[in-house]
């Protein structure tokens, strides 16, 4: 014996559940870094990787490229970032094959190809260190809005350091610059965004 009142409650519930399901489906994924509101093609560049091979950003289409600008005698932000990005790659499992992490050296004077290779591959064997002459680097830094200011340290055995921008730039598989992360970003957030971009960022 079911009362009409009971029936309408059931109907109402069913409608409610459907609405919930629909909102869940249509909810846009929100990038968790500092998202770029109208993404454009990431500024193109060609530099030399730590194996002496040319690295063209345009040749990376179809993969998510995480670009970091740093140097090997950087004590803090650089190892923190690369260490976190190595964890992101581990957390991505099979999706990691569609991610390329690169560190563009801001210190080509000290970061020889060998020094750079030893450094970046200590974090993850697939990471690439990129080098360029000061003339090659300057337009890349300008295009990405990266500050790199050489500071003399007369009292330090280092001789000099480089004050530098510490963001990681996230480029989607279609080659668009989508967002930036700071070194303290949660690796789960970076992994989540990378996974999302691998699935959707082609178009």
Partner 1 sequence: MRRHLAPLILLASIVVLSACSNANAPAIQVTEAWARAPGSAQAGEPAATPTAESMAHGMARPTGAAYMRIRNTTSAPDQLLLAQSDVAQSTEIHTVEVKNGVMAMRPVDRIEIPAKGEVVLKPGGFHVMLIGLTKDLKPGDRFSLTLHFEKTGNIEIQVEVRQP
Nearer CB in complex with partner 1: 100/165: 165
Q: What DSSP string runs through 23-70? A: HHHHPPP--SSEEEEEEEEPPP-EEEETTS-EEEGGGGTTSEEEEEEE
For residues 198 and 36, is the Cβ–Cβ distance under 8 A?
no
10 Å Cβ neighbour count for 136?
Answer: 15
Q: Could you give the CA distance from residue 59 to residue 166 in angstroms, rounded to a whole number?
A: 25
Q: Nearest approach, Cβ of 69 to partner 1 (angstroms)?
A: 11
Cα–Cα distances (Å) from 73 to 62, 158, 183, 188, in that order, read: 32, 8, 17, 27
Q: Nearest approach, Cβ of 158 to partner 1 (angstroms)?
A: 6
Nearer CB in complex with partner 1: 49/174: 49
Nearer CB in complex with partner 1: 42/198: 42
Residues at the site binding partner 1, with contacts judged by CB under 8 A: 72-77, 79-80, 82-83, 109-110, 112, 114-115, 118-119, 121-123, 147, 149, 151, 153, 155-159, 161, 163-167, 182-184
Nearer CB in complex with partner 1: 129/173: 129
Q: Nearest approach, Cβ of 86 to partner 1 (angstroms)?
A: 8
For residues 113 and 54, is the Cβ–Cβ distance under 8 A?
no
Structure tokens at 10: 């059931």
Q: Nearest approach, Cβ of 181 to partner 1 (angstroms)?
A: 11
Q: Nearest approach, Cβ of 106 to partner 1 (angstroms)?
A: 11
Nearer CB in complex with partner 1: 168/198: 168
């Amino acid at each position: 014996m079911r009362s009409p009142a009971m029936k309408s409650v059931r109907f109402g519930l069913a409608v409610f559940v459907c609405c919930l399901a629909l909102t869940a489906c249509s909810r846009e994924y929100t990038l968790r870094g500092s998202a770029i509101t109208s993404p454009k093609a990431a500024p193109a560049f060609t530099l030399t990787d730590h194996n002496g091979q040319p690295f063209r950003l345009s040749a990376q289409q179809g993969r998510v490229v995480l670009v970091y600008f740093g140097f090997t005698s950087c004590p803090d932000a650089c190892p923190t970032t690369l260490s976190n990005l190595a964890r992101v790659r581990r957390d991505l499992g099979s999706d990691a094959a569609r991610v390329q992490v690169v560190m563009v050296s801001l210190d080509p004077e000290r970061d020889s190809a060998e020094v750079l290779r030893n450094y970046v591959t200590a974090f993850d064997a697939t990471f690439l260190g990129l080098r360029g002459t000061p003339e090659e680097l300057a337009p890349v830094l300008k295009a990405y809005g990266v500050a790199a200011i050489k500071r003399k340290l007369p009292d330090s055995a280092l001789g000099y350091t480089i004050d530098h921008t510490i963001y990681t730039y996230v480029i989607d598989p279609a080659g668009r610059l989508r967002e930036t992360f700071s070194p303290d970003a949660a690796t789960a957030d970076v992994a989540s965004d990378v996974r999302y971009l691998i699935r959707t960022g082609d178009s």
